[in-house]
Amino acid sequence: MVVYSFSQINLYDQCPKKYQFRYLDWLEKEFETSPDLILWTSVHWALEWLYQQINVFNTPIKADVLWKFHELWTHEISEAWDKLIYKWDSYEDDYLRRGEHYLQAYYDKYAPFKWVSIVSTELRLNFSLWDKVSDKQFLWIIDRLDKEWDSFVINDYKTNKNLPPEDKEEYREQLTLYAYWVQQKYWKYFDWIKARLHYLHFWLVDEWIIKNEDIERVVKKYVGDINKIEKSRFDYNMWVPSAFSTKQNPYCKYCEYQNYCPLWQHLNISGDSVNWWELWEVTVKSLVDKYTNLSQEITQKTKEKDSIKELLIEYCKEKWYEQLFWTDSKISVSANDTYSIKDKESFFAFLKEKWIYDEAVDIPYYKVNSLVKEEKMTNQEINQYLEKKESWKLTPWKRKE
């Protein structure tokens, strides 16, 4: 049985093909860690150490917490030295300053830590998400679980430099699934479950009560996400090439699998060529530029043609002309009525009454495709009623410098 985590499910949502590369093909990554990940790890472990000491009634001073952070950072850096890639103009000192700032501000805010009862730190969870037919195993770690009066509080630390928008549900869903485990494990010890997201870069805490209806909604959503992944995994095992599709997104430029990805693999290939009308060879990349330039020219001319057409129609409507002339050219101008259906069901019933339904109705191909894509037809129905054909589409874009 596959055990799932937030990182797996979020990676699948980000790009199914990247999920395939990492968790099924086990392709070697160009780099296994990053300064951001080491910062996150070092800050988390320093806070874990702080609360472990508090839990045995030995509250460290702030300098000890910073010393522990530096010790953890030095160890992690030495382990990953040759694999680190710093983004833009960032350097090691920039990350160290951030970590020190986060821990000093956190310590000053919550010291002397007298009113906290710690249930666990870095609590490893392995629990089940149930639906009607199967058991979905889920794995993750709670940064810290507290008991406050009549509530259990799930704490999670974030070291992101970017504050997620209020409508981004990813972190809230994460803590809601934690609450599902807490509910199963400790339900008789509390009246409420609270979530507390600590955005350390902004001195900001997002706190809310997790309700039963929130838990039911999120569990249902993630069971559905896991079902989609398992279907893709099954198709992949059945040698379906498109089981895990590519999904272009802003994270592509940081992806460590560009050399394997169908979206980006050709970027690093320079010498491929094809025969040009059996006369000479041309490189594929030169044809990409030519095709893009021609497409942009056609698009521009089409816009210009449409603008001229609109001006001529207005001129003819004003003058009541039906033809226009110049040198050896002429243009005929006529008006035609067009119609659209108000209510498709009643209109089709009317056609059936007139015995012209079969000759009048025609379902556009894109609607048939959507029935398949949205899984509104079973495989048996698809095989019985539809014929599958391979279709290709070229969409040119001008690359930016």
Structural domain boundaries in the chain: 3-237, 271-338
Is pLDDT above 60 for 161?
yes
Q: How far apart are CA 341 and CA 15, in angstroms?
A: 39
Model confidence over 312-357: pLDDT tens digits?
889 988 888 888 888 788 888 888 777 777 787 887 777 777 666 6
| Digit-coded pLDDT (tens) for 256-286 | 898 899 998 888 777 777 776 665 778 888 8
pLDDT at 371: 73
Among 15-29, 97-111, 241-255, 373-387, the minimum mean pLDDT is found in 373-387
**What DSSP assignment string belongs to 149-192?**
TTEEEEEEEE--SSPPPTT--HHHHHHHHHHHHHHHHHGGG-SE
Average pLDDT over residues 126-134: 64
Q: Is the pLDDT of residue 365 over 80?
A: no
Identify the burial level of 257 via C-beta atoms within 10 angstroms of its C-beta, where 0-12 means exposed, 13-18 middle and 19 or more buried.
Answer: buried
| pLDDT tens column, 207-226 | 999 999 999 999 889 888 99
CA dist 221 to 156, 169, 229, 378, Å? 21, 12, 13, 22
| pLDDT exceeds cutoff 90 at 382 | no
pLDDT value, residue 124: 84
pLDDT band at 199 (very low <50, low <70, confident <90, very high): very high
For residue 171 the two structure tokens come to: 């972190």
Q: Tabulate helix, strand, coil % of the chain (nearest 5).
A: 50, 15, 30
Q: In the CATH hierarchy, which top-level class contains the domain 3-237? A: alpha beta
pLDDT band at 132 (very low <50, low <70, confident <90, very high): very low
Instruction: State the average pLDDT for the chain.
Output: 85
Q: Name the band, by pLDDT with cuts 50, 70 and 90, for residue 133.
A: very low
pLDDT at 321: 87
